[in-house]
Structure 1
């Protein structure tokens, strides 16, 4: 096996904790033997905060305890600035887990320091920021990827195999919904979901999840031939307390494939156990909740006539191996680095650009406080 990929972790919140813990899981438990990981640096707003994060990892139990005895944390450094992580010669790639509006400046600084980057979703605030990052990655020959972890889960491949086999017939329409009741009328307005300065609102925070299923099921469909869809319409409801979007919905059309309705909402819970539905000629494929890490889907065969009940409903379970499920994207990064790639075939730059483009169009057509905001490209 090759030498481990050495990770630097930026930010010490929940998402970074989840990612770092998954690096402590034995790759063999998910049948991975070609790559391995090591955490060599953690950056926070203070050394104390970074050290507390590291100490928390060292106290991990269960499936995460493997990494403690296998050297994943040996020699890890805690830094009080992100720049120290970017400049650490023992770091190969940086994981960016900061709030949305910091993704661009943090990723840009890491790239300019010569580090490969895995950045949390949404990749950036707008397309101009993303294009600048891609330009830098190309110029410096560095790997860059958006951390859409769901793309690498076993169920993502299983759903695509089911749809692309043709046995369900031609796709008729698609819909995906990520809705949760976050009590936006009473929640702390400084919370990242409500705070405009942190990219708050449902679109940027929740939008990547219905989008990932749209990309996997519709954009990747063989009959689409990788053509981007057209945005037909969109609408946003404004949360008056802070001016961010309470909900967003947008309708897309893949010519020759079908239409897709995507919805995000932080004021009401989604309907039932389903998060996405692909309706085809012969049957419907329902992807179960939650949209970010479902572990089952159901095929509903169409009835013989409109007055008959459905003849069959078969549920398929595709579990995530031990861990949270973020280790799959880490494995992809490791393989790409070992192969000398600048981007992932499974999560290429152009597909991040397509989704970022939807977000820009929906935001600019709405009436939230973010309507006319611009990112920091060029700064």
Structure 2
């Protein structure tokens, strides 16, 4: 299917995550084999018109694919407020890239204006806030989705296929780690990873990435026949004393009849490039290399009956993103859902956002205990 109908995006906030997303919208969809979607950046909202215009000018300068500038961003409007983007009749969908504590109010205002919403993770600061957004989306019959872009990457589909096929036998356990040494002592208190008023700490900012691998490989496993949520067996947080946010978090999840997942986040130590996700199964292991947000390689290691030996067989598979960062895949999902009249994505449903938000609420409430 070839389409000429462009989905008109309004971008809220002009930070780095919004830049990456908007640049991906300008990548020619044919470079990723998508011929049924088309995107346009129609408006950008910031605290000033000048800031919004700088964002647009940067997109024009740094566009990743030639030949798309004129049709996809040339007529983009710069607004000095978010409300102007919500109220623009030439905007179909709002991308929200503001700090975590603002997600709820920004998404609520957009939904009430009748706009579809793609909101950065974490969706909200609590399940209660998320439930209000879901209620409004249902009442308004407007599309709403959390922007967990890793769910939509080609490598995620490939890895799911291997684990869910039973090729490696029953899953025993999953380990997923997202750790980066941000050297927090070198940053001002006002930095978003440190300031609790901005939702600081490793859990909210980094936690969605180990969580998505646990959800996609274990929660969605065929053995989880009724989609039952896991139990949170335990959690621990090390508190960053300067501001009281978590320096690191770890939590163990158990899906009855499926397997367990240990998830780790840390902003004071680097994680390994090799084995950011390890799935241990009866007959072998699946190991992902690279960034946990966008790994590009996975290995299947098949063990003999006596356990790991030097004779284990190893197959390596490279699954790169052909163009852009990879956020374009979640944008394509939004396009198709809106085109088909859906208000919720089957690949990123509200209930699965609620499950992960529930972990975060419980882990944060327990604190360092």
Show the counterpart of 1:137.
137
Shift of 1:187: 2.2
* Distance in 2, Cα, partners of 1:233 & 1:310: 36
Show the counterpart of 1:33.
35
* Distance in 1, Cα, partners of 2:42 & 2:209: 30
- Helix, strand or coil at the partner of 1:295: strand
Asked if structure 1 preserves the Cα contact closer than 8 Å seen for 2:60 and 2:69, the reply is yes
Q: What are the ranges of 5 or more consecutive residues in structure 2 without an aligned counterpart? A: none
Shift of 1:268: 0.6
Shift of 1:299: 0.8
* Distance in 1, Cα, partners of 2:87 & 2:163: 45
- 1:184-214 CA distance string (max 9 Å, x none): 2332221111111100000000000000000
- Helix, strand or coil at the partner of 2:67: helix
Q: Are 2:111 and 1:111 aligned?
A: yes
Q: Are 2:4 and 1:22 aligned?
A: no
Show the counterpart of 2:83.
83
- Helix, strand or coil at the partner of 2:66: helix
Show the counterpart of 2:254.
253
Written as runs of structure 1 = structure 2, the 5 A alignment for 1:96-107 is 96-107=96-107
Asked if structure 2 preserves the Cα contact closer than 8 Å seen for 1:23 and 1:67, the reply is no
Q: Are 2:337 and 1:354 aligned?
A: no
* Distance in 1, Cα, partners of 2:67 & 2:211: 34
- 1:253-294 CA distance string (max 9 Å, x none): 000011111110111111341111110000100111211011
Shift of 1:310: 4.5
- 1:61-117 CA distance string (max 9 Å, x none): 4x3333214x00132110000000000000000000001011001001101111100
Q: Are 2:51 and 1:49 aligned?
A: yes
Show the counterpart of 2:202.
202
Written as runs of structure 1 = structure 2, the 5 A alignment for 1:253-292 is 253-292=254-293
- Helix, strand or coil at the partner of 2:30: helix
User: Please, what TM-score do these two structures have when normalized by structure 1?
Assistant: 0.94
- 1:280-322 CA distance string (max 9 Å, x none): 0001001112110111111111134247324212111011011
Show the counterpart of 1:214.
214
* Distance in 2, Cα, partners of 1:187 & 1:109: 32
Shift of 1:173: 0.8
Q: What are the ranges of 5 or more consecutive residues in structure 1 without an aligned counterpart? A: 369-379
Q: How many pairs does the alignment contain? A: 366
* Distance in 2, Cα, partners of 1:304 & 1:255: 25
* Distance in 2, Cα, partners of 1:272 & 1:51: 37
Asked if structure 2 preserves the Cα contact closer than 8 Å seen for 1:25 and 1:66, the reply is no
Cα 1:138–1:25 shift into 2, 3 Å: same
User: Please, what TM-score do these two structures have when normalized by structure 2?
Assistant: 0.97
Asked if structure 1 preserves the Cα contact closer than 8 Å seen for 2:303 and 2:309, the reply is no
* Distance in 2, Cα, partners of 1:87 & 1:361: 36
* Distance in 1, Cα, partners of 2:59 & 2:264: 36
Q: Are 2:73 and 1:73 aligned?
A: yes
